[in-house]
A and B are shown apart, each in its own frame.
Chain A
């Protein structure tokens, strides 16, 4: 039986359709393996080869990878939540309550989205502390640190814009306070708050603006920055691992 599967697989990989997608073709040589990584648009962000020590728990505590996992969970649950959520006042609050009490698995998805968001903020900070205290931000990785700072901003803005969407008392007053903090910017504070809320008070315009930022603009920015962040790891010579203190 396993032989049948094996030969079937081999026949599949020999078809022209397969070969048009995976150009490196079948083979066990190092060249084939390297090409399989290099010629895949997603995998080519990563190195073809890494030192095995880099994969240990110690150097990274896998914090960056765990952050990516929470981000993927947030994308998946967020897209599902969008199918039941109208970004309009006061419908948004009712939709949020429907998700909790009327939609199958709604409460599970909503809570998963919320807890993943909290976890992601925590992991981003943990990741940055780890990188900072190990000195992994130093040249040649200084630019990737800057990308990371922008990713921190993306994370916090996603967190903040998502906070308004339940349209409950907590959301309303948090964004009232937050937009008034933005108003404290010298000279153009009032303009910034006006643009942010699409008006002078937190109402339907503000909800819609925060929704578009939360569901389209910020996630897109985050995905692009994450791609650059990963690609730069390879370009900057792989993950940072300190010299062994053998001597």
Chain B
């Protein structure tokens, strides 16, 4: 700072009055500096968020091949643990249920002697239509779209949750 020299403009504090020539310029530059800091901060925040959100994932396709219809005996519930689904062959037709508990995501198991789906983690139970019977699960098990592909395999689309139960007749 050169404010000890006589001819140099006197540095003014924030309390400088109306006669201050420099104040508006000083205010402008400090706001410019602050603004660019905020901008840089927001930019690096966005950059970080984008960087940590993967754009390409090596995860399984939501559409899975469940098997041929005659693999499933009539009136049966079959767990596909890899895909996390149940394929149910009922009198009304085929349907697929999500096998992942709606509470905290554990893989449930079919208990034929109880005629129920049961979760090992926190004890939720569902009937074979996915409706909750007991435990902390907030939602019923989801119903997924079932279709038949050209090769005669049942296909289950896990990204397509049905709002109303739909049975698939082969």
Contact = CB atoms under 8 A, between A and B. Distances in A.
Contacts of A173: 106, 121
Interface of chain B, main secondary structure: loop
Interface string B69-107: 000000000000000000000000000000000011110
Interface string B100-138: 000111100000000000000100000000000000000
A199 B105 contact: no
Contact of A177 (B53, B57, B58, B104): B104
9 contacts: A173-B106, A176-B106, A177-B105, A177-B106, A180-B105, A195-B49, A195-B53, A200-B57, A205-B57
Contacts of B47: none
B144 to A, nearest CB: 16
Interface in B43-79: 49, 52-54, 57-59
B59 A177 contact: no
A194 B121 contact: no
Contact of A205 (B54, B103, B106, B121): B54
A137 B74 CA distance: 67
Contacts of A47: none
B105 A198 contact: no
B59 A199 contact: yes
A152 B80 CA distance: 41
Contact of B53 (A180, A194, A204): A194
Given A200-B59, A201-B59, A203-B59, A176 B54 contact: no
Contact of B52 (A179, A181, A195, A201): A195
A224 to B, nearest CB: 20
Contacts of A198: 52, 54
Interface residue tally of chain B, by bracket? 10 to 19
Interface residues of A, number: 15
B82 to A, nearest CB: 12
Contacts of A181: 104
Interface of A: 173, 176-177, 179-181, 194-195, 198-201, 203-205
A176 B107 CA distance: 10
A219 B104 CA distance: 28
B15 to A, nearest CB: 31
Contact of B54 (A177, A179, A199, A201): A199
Contacts of A179: 105
A199 B52 CA distance: 10
Given A176-B104, A195-B53, A199-B54, 20 more contacts: A173-B106, A173-B121, A176-B106, A177-B104, A177-B106, A177-B121, A180-B103, A180-B104, A195-B49, A195-B52, A198-B52, A198-B54, A199-B57, A200-B57, A200-B59, A201-B59, A203-B58, A203-B59, A204-B58, A205-B54
A201 B62 CA distance: 12
A198 B59 CA distance: 11
A203 B58 CA distance: 9
A199 to B, nearest CB: 5
Contacts of B57: 199-200, 205
A200 B105 CA distance: 12
Minimum-distance CB pairs A-B, first 7: A180-B105, A180-B104, A177-B104, A176-B105, A199-B57, A195-B52, A198-B54
A203 B104 CA distance: 17
Nearest to A178: B104
Nearest to A181: B104
Contacts of B104: 176-177, 180-181
Contacts of B58: 203-204
Name the residue in B53, B59, B104, B106 with the highest tally of chain A Cβ atoms < 10 Å from its Cβ: B104
